């Protein structure tokens, strides 16, 4: 039977816009066409009246272009007004920079007969080590063998060795598989652990907080600040920056700075010159009564107090730099150059679009009296505030391209000076963490104490390296280590338990390898052409070149 139900019908109409909207769109399109026709007719009528007058030609060209709305013109003019507020201007002029005060005492190379130990004793003299020995004996039990200054010198030399050849556990230096004769022949394991446990650099403070390291190291820090400044004459360039002493234990003054390689630890403000530490100050927490300018301002003024009115140049990073600090240092006879933040009070307002539009090597400069601001584009924009050189003085800076090629790019002199003279504190930190001293301890102050002792070694290395072309910190530490270990008297050294001591233990006193000035053939393997080698290591007593390891043992067997 046929299906009587009619099939479903679908509409064939298409969706249309409302009539009112269509009419409005048609009227708008017609209006645009009429405006174009009127503009074309106007241009056509004016074309016949053009003449050779340049001013009329410029007016017609301007009339032909679309004009910006009044609001956009105001937005374009507003940044130009903001850039020159509070006296900052685009016009640059020369500034008068006074010459640095002449100093009669200059840093000279040490005499040829002076040893690394003698230089270290500038900062850690015999009397100071005797004080350390007295504090150590006071903290130790009565039945223990009293420590002496010579033994503590050797104890310091052992830590130098452990910083060069570092093992994860202290006991491994005396174990059967990892025994190091350099340490085992000077200290027994138990004696070294006793010294490590009771070593003190100051008497135990009575009213000190249990986890505050400052009272334990305050006396040594004050002495070192005086001796560091007394034995080195800074150049014209000073660098102020922060250093971190790595520490993850519990302490009320421990800080966290994510931008540092060692994020947790004690923060120390350091003033350095030519990679030499002149002055330091440990951050002890928020100050109770800072000045109106702030605690950071007060810290900088305290750090440079010794070097006022010498017309030196202080290089800082953006944590310290501000126009207020620059004016204060100028009144104290110190010029300044440092990276700066945009939100510092008194800074000129440069539009962000203008900075982003800079190409690599381009620069924007503003000047207010003697203060100058340079925004120079490298991989990123670098902002430097300075008053130590004229803003018109330019030079070149070697940079690397994306393809790995080295090119010279023009830049203001202040940018060049900041790149080359603001890194002294960073170099000191690199020297410290290359061969770190000290072993792990549960107390809060040993980490900071060993940092102070290592600063003495780094400054001694700087004095020792004056006049040398390519000084090696490793070579200096090796020579200093052997000289410190030799301070231990023979009667204090451990007696070997075995009947026949190993050859390397018996030879460690006089026969050990050290770096020579030139590389020569090894006296052992040079007779075997198939494995012939050249080495720069020489035996201290025999004065012959030997390879480290098998050749040294075969020669002294």
Q: What is the DSSP string of 271-297?
A: EEETTEEEEEEE--SS-SS--TT-HHH
Q: What is residue 82's predicted lDDT score, i.e. its pLDDT?
A: 45
- My answer on whether 136 and 200 are in the same domain is yes
Question: 102 φ, ψ to 5°?
Answer: -70, 140
The contacts of residue 456 (CB under 8 Å, 6+ apart) are 120, 123, 124, 224
- My answer on whether 124 and 202 are in the same domain is yes
Q: Is 286 within the bounds of a domain?
A: no
- My answer on whether 450 and 514 are in the same domain is no
- My answer on whether 103 and 166 are in the same domain is no
Please give the DSSP secondary-structure letter assigned to residue 521.
E
Q: Is 142 within the bounds of a domain?
A: yes
Domain end (from 442, 465, 492): 492
How many independent structural domains does the chain possess?
3
Please give the DSSP secondary-structure letter assigned to residue 160.
H
Question: 507 φ, ψ to 5°?
Answer: -95, -5
Q: What angle do CA 40, 46, 50 make, to 5 degrees?
A: 135
pTM: 0.74
Assigned token pair, 258: 């994510």
- My answer on whether 485 and 529 are in the same domain is no
What length does the chain have?
Answer: 557
Whole-angstrom Cα distance, residue 269 to residue 284? 11
- My answer on whether 376 and 437 are in the same domain is no
- My answer on whether 104 and 149 are in the same domain is no
- My answer on whether 363 and 405 are in the same domain is yes
Q: Is 515 within the bounds of a domain?
A: yes
Bridge partners, 375 (sequence order): 364, 383
Q: Is 361 within the bounds of a domain?
A: yes
Q: What is residue 19's predicted lDDT score, i.e. its pLDDT?
A: 45
Each residue's pLDDT tens digit in the chain (557 positions)?
A: 444 444 444 444 444 444 444 455 556 556 666 666 666 665 655 554 444 444 444 443 344 444 444 444 444 444 444 445 578 988 898 888 887 765 545 678 888 889 999 999 999 999 999 999 999 999 999 889 999 999 999 999 999 999 999 999 999 999 988 888 899 999 999 999 999 999 999 998 877 778 889 999 999 999 999 999 999 999 999 999 999 999 999 899 999 999 888 999 999 999 999 999 999 999 998 888 889 999 999 999 999 999 999 999 999 999 999 999 999 999 999 999 999 998 899 999 898 999 999 998 899 999 998 999 999 998 899 999 999 999 999 999 998 888 888 889 999 999 999 999 999 999 999 999 999 998 888 889 999 999 999 999 999 999 999 989 899 999 999 999 999 999 999 888 886 544 344 555 555 667 888 888 888 888 888 776 667 788 888 888 888 888 888 888 888 77
The domain of 400 spans 84-109+344-412
CA distances from 125 to 121, 129, 280, 282 (A): 4, 7, 20, 23
Assigned token pair, 332: 């104290």
Q: What is residue 50's predicted lDDT score, i.e. its pLDDT?
A: 43
- My answer on whether 471 and 528 are in the same domain is no
In this structure, is the dihedral angle defined by the CA atoms of residues 5, 6, 10 and 13, taken in order, positive or negative? negative
Q: What is residue 62's predicted lDDT score, i.e. its pLDDT?
A: 43
- My answer on whether 141 and 192 are in the same domain is yes
- My answer on whether 122 and 184 are in the same domain is yes
Whole-angstrom Cα distance, residue 434 to residue 32? 74
- DSSP sequence for 63-88: HHSPPPPHHHHHHHHHHHHHHTGGG-
Whole-angstrom Cα distance, residue 229 to residue 233? 7
SS3 400: strand
Q: Is 394 within the bounds of a domain?
A: yes
- My answer on whether 397 and 443 are in the same domain is no
Q: Is 396 within the bounds of a domain?
A: yes
Q: Is 424 within the bounds of a domain?
A: no
- DSSP sequence for 40-60: HHHHHHHHTT--S-HHHHHHH
Q: How far is CA 555 from the centre of its chain?
A: 45
Single out the residue of 423, 340, 350 nearest to residue 384, CA to CA.
340
């Amino acid at each position: 039977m046929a299906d009587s139900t009619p099939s479903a019908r679908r509409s064939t109409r298409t969706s249309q816009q409302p009539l009112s909207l269509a009419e409005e769109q048609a009227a708008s399109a017609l209006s645009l066409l009429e405006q174009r026709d009127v503009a074309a007719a106007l241009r056509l009528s004016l074309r016949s009246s053009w003449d050779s007058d340049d001013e009329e030609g410029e007016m017609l060209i301007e009339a032909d272009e679309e004009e910006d709305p009044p609001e956009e013109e105001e937005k374009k003019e507003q940044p130009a007004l903001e850039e020159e507020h509070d006296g900052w201007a685009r016009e640059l002029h020369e500034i008068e920079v006074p010459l640095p005060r002449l100093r009669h005492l200059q840093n000279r190379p040490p005499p040829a007969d002076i040893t690394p130990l003698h230089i270290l004793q500038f900062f850690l003299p015999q009397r100071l080590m005797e004080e350390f020995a007295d504090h150590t004996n006071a903290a130790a039990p009565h039945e223990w063998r009293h420590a002496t200054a010579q033994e503590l010198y050797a104890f310091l030399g052992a830590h130098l060795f452990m910083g060069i050849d570092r093992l994860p556990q202290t006991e491994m230096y005396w174990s059967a598989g990892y025994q190091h004769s350099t340490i085992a022949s000077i200290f027994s394991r138990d004696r070294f652990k006793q010294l490590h446990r009771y070593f003190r650099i100051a008497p135990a403070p009575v009213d000190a907080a249990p986890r505050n390291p400052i009272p334990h190291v305050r006396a040594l820090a004050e002495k070192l600040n005086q001796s560091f400044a007394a034995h080195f004459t800074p150049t014209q360039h000073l660098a102020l920056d922060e250093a971190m002493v790595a520490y993850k234990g519990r302490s009320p003054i421990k800080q966290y700075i994510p931008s540092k390689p060692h994020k947790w630890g004690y923060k120390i403000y350091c003033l350095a010159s030519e990679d030499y530490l002149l002055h330091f100050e440990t951050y002890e927490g928020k100050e109770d009564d800072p000045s109106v300018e702030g605690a950071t301002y007060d810290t900088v003024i305290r750090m440079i107090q010794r070097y006022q009115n010498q017309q030196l140049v202080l290089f800082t990073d953006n944590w310290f730099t501000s126009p207020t600090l620059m004016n204060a240092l100028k009144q104290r006879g110190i010029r300044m150059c440092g990276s700066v933040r945009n939100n510092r009070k008194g800074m000129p307002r440069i539009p962000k679009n203008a900075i982003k539009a800079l190409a690599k090597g381009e620069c924007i400069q503003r000047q207010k009296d003697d203060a100058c601001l340079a925004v120079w584009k490298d991989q990123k924009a670098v902002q430097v505030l300075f008053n130590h050189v004229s803003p018109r003085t330019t030079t070149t800076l070697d940079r690397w391209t994306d393809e790995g090629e080295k090119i010279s790019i023009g830049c203001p002199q202040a940018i060049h000076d900041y790149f080359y003279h603001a890194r002294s504190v960073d170099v000191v930190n690199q020297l410290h963490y290359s061969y770190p001293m000290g072993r792990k301890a549960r107390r809060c102050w040993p980490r900071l104490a060993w940092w102070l002792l290592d600063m003495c070694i780094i400054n001694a290395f700087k004095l020792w390296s004056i006049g040398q072309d390519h000084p090696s910190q490793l070579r200096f530490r090796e020579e200093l280590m052997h000289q410190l270990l030799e301070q231990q008297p023979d009667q204090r050294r451990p007696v070997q338990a075995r009947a026949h001591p190993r050859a390397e233990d018996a030879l460690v006193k006089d026969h050990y390898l050290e770096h020579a000035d030139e590389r020569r053939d090894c006296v052992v393997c040079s007779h075997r052409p198939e494995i012939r080698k050249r080495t720069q290591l020489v035996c201290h007593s025999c004065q012959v070149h030997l390879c480290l390891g098998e050749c040294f043992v075969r020669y002294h067997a």
